[in-house]
Structure 1
Amino acid sequence: MLGGQGLARVLGFFAWVLRRCEASLLAQRGHLFGWVPVCFAVGIGGYFSLRFEPDLTWLAVVAVAVMLVLFLCRIVPLAVAPFFLGAALIGAGVLIASARAHYVAGPVLEGRYYGPIEGRVLALDQSASGAVRITLADVGLAGRFDPAPTRVRVALHSKIAGHDPKIGQRVMLTGHLSPPPRAVEPGGFDFRRHAWFQRLGAIGYTRSPLVLLQPGQGSLVSRLRQILNTRIRAALPGDAGAVAVTLITGDRSSLPDARVEDLRRANLAHLLAISGLHMGLVSGFVFWLIRLLLSCPSWIALRWPIKKLSAGAALLAAAGYLALSGGAIATERAFIMVTMALIAVMLDQRALTLRAVALAALVVLTLRPEALVSPGFQMSFAATTSLVVVFSLLRGAAVMRLPVVGGALPLLLSSTVAGLATAPIAAAHFNMLSQMGLIANLATVPLMGVFVMPAAVLAVILMPFGLEALPLWAMGLGIEWVLAVAQWIANHPQSVRYVMSPPSVVIPLLSFGVLVVFFWRGCGRWLGVAPAAVALVVWMQGVRPDLLIADQGALVGILTDQGRALSAPRGTGFVAEVWLENDGAPRTQADAAALWPEVIVVGDGRLFTAKGKRATRQLTCRAGDWVVSDQWMQRQLPCYQMDRRALATKGSVAIYDIDTQPQIITDRAISGDRLWSNWPITDP
């Protein structure tokens, strides 16, 4: 036992530790705003990770707890008050996410539908296969589906010439609809949740032509977008024109899928999304142009605040670009960031700081909490935060003031820092690392800034006078260069490296570690390296399921020494593609099917697959065997059955350790019973 003197030393040591911790916490005062959106995001992420939908009582308890914690913030010691405020923000994130989920609620199709579909064209885009898709609002369906979904999205596969849809028109077609699909594997991308927040109650396709029921012009902005699209394509045909339309109006419906894949493999796909780069280039060019014009007359330059006036003009241009491009989530996020920077210029403050980034993130998460789980949000703020931190450290550095290095170094640093910051997130979501992405960005991004986007702005300004041909021609030259670089990089044998999907804990843990390094003041910031390193280790040691079963039993994938083998060489191609990509070893479905073994051992039995009614009727098995069928089996066999009926209540299935003690994980167990789940009420 400790004597009196030893006990005093121990107590003294703990008192010293507490004093140091308190001093460290007090040193963070004035630098804690960056943690506000982080805590808010933790609450939003917590809501989405729940396995049940919180009811009104549960939410009321959270609301009372938030108010109680806010009250305690006023009476607890100053050093620990931020922890209470952080807890309140976490609770507020849960409440905001729940409110948003209920606000966007709408009917979801309960089964398959084939028949007439009519509605007002709300949006036009392009599917992964290259087909034009229309999103319909004010939907009408025949039969028992009442109320009809608020919105439906239909891919147009018709080869018969029909009506060319325009936004605002009311059209009718005959097509197939089904509820938004479930995750292709447990823990995978939940398209039902994505569709819920887009208010999509059904998706489908049609092979019949469209019929115009009622002409409509849509809003003024949509009509202006259509006019711009027509004028741009007339002056700039081909792939360059399709990219120009995408950059100016955000319309991807005419963009070839092969070009998109080239840009993705070269890590240049961000050039197509109207986000921070484009919004910054447009507003920056307008700011420079207006300031140049106002500074030419000396009597204006000496009497008027031309810098602030230029910032105001740039803000108006950014707002116009937001409306013109369709107001996508990425564009809204970029507009908020640009607005923060331009308002700071008007108030004679630093244009871009961590406070501005944090405020922009808080605004985006408040308006659209669902953006947190999107790769666009994660990559955008990862890149922006990293750039602000790095350039803040280099502010005033002598090397940045050198005539040559000072001009080239920011460009090199921007591409390098943004690439490193977004690489883990891109790899986690898309299972692909672009190994030559830095080269591609250095060869194209400067051209976008000094040539392509300024030409786009001039084309839009001159279009009312019929003089857009020359700037669009110049814009096309720059786009052709970008596409050529993307194609060369994409065809290079070392262009990409495929990686396995990480466990769900990796990105949050990695982000937390990096944010500690960025936000914390003092030597304690380096403690953030530990969770970031743990996240990378967990990723590298992650394992993929030994066996995967699609949610309707039409496809099974077994992990072999040569890679994942599939039970069918065609059909359910999207599921097969995602499984193979998540393994980090993409190949064609036919090649994967060629690996399918004759005998598959699962525990004490064997696995059998039966596709079609005849194969299902003829199937026999013994106790301990496993059977997967895409049909509703009418008889009870002695083996473990996973037919379409059972999978309807489970969703896709992942099985680990199939040789010893099989561990079964279902989509329903991971995603839970949520507003957007659309599971059958009872087991069949």
Structure 2
Amino acid sequence: MRDTPIIPMGDNPAGEPDTPSAGREAPWQSAARLSSAGGAATALAERAERFLSDAGFDRAPWLAVLFGAGIFTWFALHSPWQWVSAIGISLMVAIGAVALWPYGSAADDNRSHLRRATIACALVFAAGMAVIWARSEMVGAEPISRPVIERVEGFVLDREDQPAEERVRLTLAVRLAGDAGEAAHQARKIRVNVPERALARDGLNAAVVEGAVVRLRVRLMPPAPPMLPGAYDFARAAWFKGLAATGSALGDIEVVRPAPEGGGTIRSLQRSLSAHVRARVSGSAGTIAAAFASGDRGAIARSDAEAMRDAGLTHLLAISGLHVSAVVAAAYFVALRLLALFPALALRLRLPVAAAACGALAGIGYTLLTGAQVPTVRACAAAMLVLIALAMGRDALSLRMVAVAAGFVLILWPESAIGPSFQMSFSAVLAIIALSSSRPARAFMRAREEPWINICGRPFGCKQ
């Protein structure tokens, strides 16, 4: 064996054993060649960098998605240590992006967009969790531990007339006798149903309004949890409304101190408008017209509500995007036509801007008059963005507009993200905008000169 000749192979003609040279790296010492995963990660990072670089401003709507994902994650987790852990992981991801692609290095040239997107997504996700947590701590009210019957004295925060149920719903700020410690010195918000017959004597109905102090005997219950898994959770809704208990009044009600003079509120104006409409239009038509005009659905009979529900039209009774859009559009076009009648104004003013201002005022006024509920505010915010785009000559329907409206609502009312109203409204708008901005839809709606027969047959895909 010692006389066996050594056959030179490769780059070692002397036949000496291969040893890695100082100036050349052996194949097994290269991390990229050692594992295909490293090369795949690098290729994926390069593709993500190119995608983010080409996306431009279209990246911004994803921040609203990440903010909402943080809110959903907060609801999916159930304890503070889990929330803190999720926020901490998000912050660690942002710090890791800075450490992996540091500033002032080669990453500024080939990973700047990816680094910025990773940091922004992690921080926005953590901000979504922090906002809903802070909202829960600020407005959440601990419910009462058990049903109680006691006499309370409270300040009327809100009044909602429900003639169809022959009752008035009052929201009161009270101090319950069963509270102990710090809770005894804090006002608790409760909601009670008062029969109309209890307010029928000595002008009591007109005295029990917002700002008055009343005394009454009530039966209170803790907010009810969902009856079935996945059903409506009234306890969660009451928590974010600040309600500690709900119940009904027992016996008579006494006004301790009347409401201040001249303290008319939007709610009183809403009640007056609803009563005026019902007085002019009788029957079911009047109650539905009052709901459209003022947002007051308390006078709609149960049979009419059930008929609307069976016909799939209940959503028309809730003031939302359809109603706000109709009011804003009507005010916009009416103002535009009326202003165009005056040459002195038409030659000196930008009529779309003036008409947009009129539409904005009409939309905001209608939103306040109908109670400024979350769906109405959401629709009003979207309408304002559309009017601003029209006044600036920009595209009115875009994903950025939807993202801004969603972010506005989620910052002020983050708990609305888990409601079907928010999810269905924004899903529908996203579908409409995605369809209208698609290439086939743009080609179909593109302005062009063609014979009238082609125009008539275009909806059916017919060509001459």
Q: Which TM class, normalised by the smaller chain length?
A: 0.7 to 0.9
How far apart, in 2, do the equivalents of 1:170 and 1:63 lie?
48
The question of 1:386 aligning with 2:422 is answered no
Describe the SS at the equivalent of 1:189.
coil
Answer yes or no: is the 8 Å Cα contact 1:182–1:191 preserved in 2. Answer: yes
The structure 2 residue matched to 1:197, chosen from 240, 245, 255, is 240
Gaps of 5+ in 2: 1-26, 460-464
Q: Does 1:288 pair with 2:333?
A: yes
Picking from 5, 29, 37, the partner of 2:64 is: 37
Letter in 1 for 2:429: T
Matched, 1:397 2:431: no
Q: Distance in 1 between matches of 2:339 and 2:365?
A: 21
* Bigger mean CA deviation after superposition, 216-225 or 372-381: 216-225
Q: Paired residue for 2:3?
A: none
Distance 2:61 2:87 in 1: 28
**Higher gyration radius (CA):** 2
Residue 21 of structure 2 is matched in structure 1 by none
> Which one of 106, 123, 126 corresponds to residue 141 of structure 2?
106
1:135 aligns to what? 170
**Structure 1 residues 93, 13: closer, same or farther in 2, change over 3 A?**
closer
Match of 2:192 among 132, 154, 159: 154
Please give the alpha-carbon distance, in whole angstroms, between the structure 1 residues aligned to 2:37 and 2:274. Answer: 74
- Deviation of 1:19 after TM superposition, in Å, equals 4.6
**1:201, distance to aligned residue in structure 2 (A):** 0.7
Match of 1:80 among 114, 129, 138: 114
In the alignment, which residue of structure 1 is the partner of 2:50? 23
Between the aligned partners of 1:361 and 1:319, the Cα distance in structure 2 is 18
Give the aligned residue type for 2:128: G
Give secondary structure in 2 for the equivalent of 1:327.
coil
Q: Matched residue of 2:411: which SS?
A: helix
Residues 180 and 191 of structure 1 are in contact (CA less than 8 Å); yes or no, is this contact kept in structure 2? yes
Distance 1:405 1:85, change over 3 A: farther
How far is the alpha carbon of 1:161 from its aligned partner? 5.7
Does 1:116 pair with 2:161? no
Any idea what SS the aligned residue of 2:149 has? strand
Contact in 2 for aligned 1:141/1:148 (Cα 8 Å): no
Q: Tell me the secondary structure at the aligned position of residue 135 of structure 1.
A: strand
Alignment correspondent of 2:78: 51
How far is 1:295 from its partner? 0.4
Name the CA shift for 1:117/1:18 in 2 (closer, same or farther; >3 Å): closer
Provide the residue aligned with 1:312 in structure 2. Answer: 357
Equivalent position of 2:420 in the other structure = 375
The CA distance in 2 between the partners of 1:201 and 1:297, in whole Å, is 57
Q: Distance in 1 between matches of 2:81 and 2:34?
A: 50
Is the CA contact (8 Å cut-off) linking 1:149 and 1:200 kept in structure 2? no
Describe the superposition over 1:461-499 as per-residue Cα deviations: whole angstroms up to 9, x where unpaired. Answer: xxxxxxxxxxxxxxxxxxxxxxxxxxxxxxxxxxxxxxx
- Which secondary structure state, in structure 2, belongs to the residue aligned with residue 171 of structure 1? strand
Q: Higher helix fraction: Structure 1 or Structure 2?
A: 2
1:267 matched to 2:305: no
| Partner of residue 346 from structure 1, selected from 364, 373, 391 | 391
Task: State how far apart, in whole Å, the 1-side matches of 2:37 and 2:276 are.
Answer: 78
Please show how residues 459-474 of structure 1 align to structure 2 within 5 Å: none
Letter of the 1:94 partner, please give it: M
Distance verdict in 2 for CA 1:337–1:71, change over 3 Å: farther
Q: Quick check: 1:274–1:330 contact (8 Å CA) kept in 2?
A: yes
Separation in structure 2 between the aligned mates of residue 143 and residue 17 of structure 1, nearest angstrom: 62
**Secondary structure of 1:106's aligned partner:** coil
Q: Distance in 2 between matches of 1:280 and 1:406?
A: 29
Contact 1:109 1:149 in 2 (8 A): no
CA contact (8 A) 1:107 1:148 kept: no
The equivalent position to 1:245 in structure 2, one of 290, 311, 319, is 290
Matches within 5 A, 1:507-526: none
Q: Residue in 2 aligned with 1:213? A: 256
Q: Provide the alpha-carbon RMSD of the alignment.
A: 3.7
**Counterpart Cα distance in 1 of 2:89 and 2:163:** 41
2:288 partner SS: helix
- 1:512 is matched with none
- 1:91 to partner: Cα distance: 0.8
Q: Distance in 2 between matches of 1:161 and 1:404?
A: 68
Structure 1 distance, partners of 2:84, 2:39, is 46
TM superposition shift of 1:108 = 2.7
CA deviations on 1:221-249 (whole Å, 9 max, x unpaired) are 22322321222121112222211221222
The 1:52–1:297 alpha-carbon spacing in structure 2 relative to 1, beyond 3 Å, is same
Q: Distance in 2 between matches of 1:237 and 1:74?
A: 72
1:125 CA displacement: 4.0
Give the length in aligned residue pairs: 406
Residues 1:238 and 1:117: Cα distance change in structure 2 (over 3 Å): farther
How far apart are residue 207 of structure 1 and its match? 4.5
Q: Which residue identity is paired with 2:359?
A: A
Contact 2:172 2:191 in 1 (8 A): no
Match of 2:274 among 218, 221, 229: 229
**Gap regions ≥5 residues in structure 1:** 411-684
AA at the equivalent of 1:156: V
TM-score, reference length from structure 2: 0.76
Report the Cα distance in structure 1 between the residues aligned to 2:193 and 2:404, rounded to whole angstroms: 38
Structure-1 separation of matches of 2:424 and 2:212: 36
Deviation at 1:284, TM superposition (A): 0.7
Q: In structure 2, what is the Cα distance between the partners aligned to 1:224 and 1:312?
A: 24
Deviations 1:257-285 (A, max 9, x none): 22222223323222111111111110110
Q: Distance in 2 between matches of 1:264 and 1:115?
A: 38
CA gap of 1:379–1:154, structure 2 versus 1, over 3 A, is: same
- CA separation of 1:43/1:405 partners in 2, compared to 1, >3 Å: closer, same or farther? farther
Measure the CA separation in 1 of the matches of 2:338 and 2:145.
Answer: 60
Query: Matches of residues 627-646 of structure 1 in structure 2 within 5 Å?
Result: none
CA deviation string 1:342-372 (max 9, x = no partner): 1222222222211011011011101111010
C-alpha distance in 2 between matches for 1:141 and 1:16: 65
CA gap of 1:136–1:355, structure 2 versus 1, over 3 A, is same
- Give the SS at the match of 2:388: helix
SS in 2 for 1:30: helix
How much does 1:17 deviate?
A: 6.1
Q: Determine if the alignment matches structure 1 residue 167 to structure 2 residue 210.
A: yes
Determine if contact 2:87/2:129 at 8 Å carries over to the other structure: no
Cα distance in 1 for residues equivalent to 2:436 and 2:453: 18
- Give the aligned residue type for 2:133: S
Describe how 1:413-432 pairs up with structure 2 within 5 A. none
CA contact (8 A) 1:121 1:134 kept: no
Q: Give 3-state SS (helix, strand or coil) of 1:274's partner.
A: coil
Q: Which amino acid aligns with 2:405?
A: A
